Amino acid sequence: MVLLLGKSDLAYAIQQQLAQPCVIVGRPAYDFALKADCDRVIMDHNPTVVINTVAVNQNHDAWETLTTNFVSAVYLTLGFYNQMQQGHIINVSSTSTYWVSYPDIPTERLCYNLSKEALSQFGRHFNRKIVDSDRQVTVSTIELGSFPSRFNGHQGRMPIERAASVIVDCIKNPRTAVSLIE
């Protein structure tokens, strides 16, 4: 079973492209800014693939942005990794990791970019940690460029179907890191 975290447009686009059963979870049942809800989603599900599409954008304050986009993603990755003996965990990051700050960047945008940079760095470091593990669990980080969705007011150049297809391809052909800039 594939567990899609976040009721995002991307999660629904991924679900449409997968030929296997999927469950999509998110608000209001699970608020990923809350540790108790992260614990509950880990206890409630036993997936073979976890795809984390959860994110809040620069319209949220620094606490919610950093907690949701980074802290909960790391916590969920660790929780599912410890629960799984085999499978795949995919965290969706952003190509904003390539230009985290610039002169006069709005603080909210800086916090969003920083949260995604931290998530991508976590993926790199976690994969170094588990390289010799006996578990057959792949952990992937996929950095996507902007695609139209509710998240960004339907702005972006890359078709959402393209973004979803990269994630589906990563399930079929596991890699630890993928970046797609369009």
Cα separation of 170 and 87, whole Å? 12
Structure-token match 């629960």, residue found: 83
- Per residue in 23-47, pLDDT tens? 999 999 999 999 999 999 999 999 9
Highest mean pLDDT among 2-6, 17-21, 95-99: 2-6
* Partner residues linked to 83 by β-bridges: none
Residue 165 and residue 159: Cα distance in Å, rounded? 10
Q: In the predicted model, is pLDDT for residue 60 greater than 90?
A: no
Q: What is the pTM of this model?
A: 0.94
The Cβ of residue 134 has, within 10 Å, a number of other Cβ atoms equal to 7
Alpha-carbon distance 111 to 61, whole Å? 8
Contact status, residue 22 vs residue 53, Cβ threshold 8 Å = no
Q: How confident is the model at residue 181 (pLDDT cuts 50, 70, 90)?
A: confident
167/16 Cα distance (integer angstroms): 12
